[in-house]
Chain A
């Protein structure tokens, strides 16, 4: 089975220059991989570094040391050292990310927010919007909201827009940071189904799920981030 995501010996710390330059180690020596069709769930207590790992994989956080290898267009890209342009291209075509909160853009309608990743890949707007409509309908977002900018939506509504946006593309790797946190039971199940579909399509998924039921339903494997905690290492 193909392994589109390989993380090896990644270290991450934050240096807080505004607070006397104290160094805050987050994770040490992170190594793991995710295979196609697999859903790996990051586990461990709050503040242990789960989100930070996802953000590093996405290129959103810098990496102190180590490699994050992603199969991108028939080659391997090391996110840890790639230039911004390459990371943007990887995000556009290979690596999807559903954050915990939607970062809204003023005046852009929910439907267009969802369709945008497809448009960015060169798909015609009508086709992209049709696919966006399918997803929003499936996630039970009231139709009258589709044409409104999501800034005023409830947390759960925004999250569904965010999920639809993350799932609309056929990216081969998908990072999920608590996508179901603010959803009701019905919509949680929709997301579980959608994740199962992605797995069948051969997508490599890496996620954080606090909800036990969801985690049980989607996880092939749970990776306890405590293993990479510098505090543990020091102990």
Chain B
């Protein structure tokens, strides 16, 4: 167990006018830990995720991130250049809709290679070899390397998006409903893949999902959100098997078995 968290979140709130997006969220995320944020639609999951990933500025609160040099930096006080650099090197962001996270008009290989090129990789052969390697890891045939994601199925696109994010070995990955629009069988494959990659790479991840089975399978810990508030927070199997809050009990009871 490492003794320093990767992310320290304190008192993060986001208001949309007088409406609450999320309210007073605090937690720490440790290296190798996967946190699931669950709740029904409109409960503030995505707002919180966007605040944590600095895609959105919260109204109040702070998020500190431990940089590769070991120093904590307050994300909201970083320059935009630093934040964007962090986002394309040390972080990943997997969108629910792959089209939001991919360049649909460039090849799969270039989609995977973009981050490498962005950090200064200038050897075409190496970039391509790495892209091939990653396509294999996410179970996309290397014969598809020059095809555009437009020609891919939803599941393939989502796997490509994951490869594109993981190629720079990020330490923290944000995922917003990663299995959202996919068929059940495709979901299972993707989940299994993500689970394997997270384990192998020792990634930390924050996964927003309304699907408790996804939370069960991927996460160590979960937070249940309702009306912008975190109402229950704990070890994933504890929250799912012994839910304490009325709303969590409702969530758990309204699905068959997870």
Do chains A and B directly touch (beta carbons under 8 Å) in the complex? yes
CB distance from B231 to the nearest CB of A (A): 12
Is there an interface contact between A107 and B188, defined as CB atoms closer than 8 Å?
yes
A61 within 8 A of B: yes
B64 in contact (CB, < 8 A)? no
User: Which residues between 11 and 66 of chain A lie within 8 Å of chain B, taking CB atoms?
Assistant: 14-18, 21, 55, 59-62
**Are A85's CB and B242's CB within 8 A?**
no
Q: How far is the CA of A107 from the CA of B189 in the complex (A)?
A: 8
B77 proximal to A (CB < 8 A): no
Interface string of B137-161 (1 = CB under 8 A from A): 0000000000000000000000000
Is A126's CB within 8 Å of the partner chain B?
A: no
Interface of A is mostly: mixed
Give CA–CA (A18, B251) in the complex, Å: 11
Chain B residues whose CB sits within 8 angstroms of the CB of A85 once the complex forms: 1, 30, 33, 220-221
Q: Within 8 Å of chain A (Cβ to Cβ): is B246?
A: yes
Give the one of B191, B199, B242 with max A CB within 10 A. Answer: B242
User: Would you call A62 and B238 a contact (CB within 8 A)?
Assistant: yes
B222 and chain A: residue at smallest CB distance: A84
Given contacts A18-B246, A60-B242, contact A88 B195 (CB under 8 A): no
Cβ of B220 and Cβ of A84 under 8 Å apart?
yes
Does A105 belong to the interface (CB within 8 Å)?
yes
B235 within 8 A of A: yes
Interface size of B as a range: 20 to 34
Interface string of A77-110 (1 = CB under 8 A from B): 0000000110111000000000000000111100
Contact present for A18 and B192 (CB under 8 Å): no
Q: How far is A60 from B238 in the complex, measured between Cα atoms in Å?
A: 4
Q: CB-CB < 8 A to A16: which residues of B?
A: 249
CA distance A28 to B25 in the complex (A): 34
Interface residues on A, range: 20 to 34
B245 at the A/B interface (Cβ < 8 Å)?
A: yes
Known: A18-B246, A106-B191. A60 touches B217 (CB 8 A): no
Q: How far is the CA of A12 from the CA of B188 in the complex (A)?
A: 35
Interchain CB contact (< 8 A) of B235 among A17, A21, A88, A108: A88
B1 near A89 with CB under 8 A, answer yes
Q: Which B residues touch A106, using CB under 8 A?
A: 188-189, 191-192
Closest to B221 in A: A84
20 additional A-B residue pairs with CB within 8 Å, beyond A84-B234, A106-B188? A14-B242, A17-B245, A18-B253, A59-B235, A61-B238, A61-B241, A62-B234, A62-B242, A62-B244, A84-B238, A85-B1, A85-B220, A88-B220, A89-B1, A105-B195, A105-B217, A106-B189, A106-B192, A107-B189, A108-B192
Q: Which residues of B contact A (CB under 8 A)?
A: 1, 30, 33, 188-189, 191-192, 195, 199, 217, 220-221, 234-235, 237-238, 241-242, 244-246, 249-250, 253
- Can you list 19 residue pairs at the A/B interface with Cβ under 8 Å? A17-B245, A18-B249, A18-B250, A55-B241, A59-B235, A59-B238, A60-B235, A60-B237, A60-B238, A84-B220, A84-B221, A84-B235, A85-B1, A85-B33, A85-B221, A105-B192, A106-B189, A107-B188, A120-B199
What 9 pairs between A and B have smallest CB-CB spacing? A17-B246, A84-B235, A61-B242, A106-B188, A107-B192, A84-B221, A17-B249, A89-B1, A62-B242
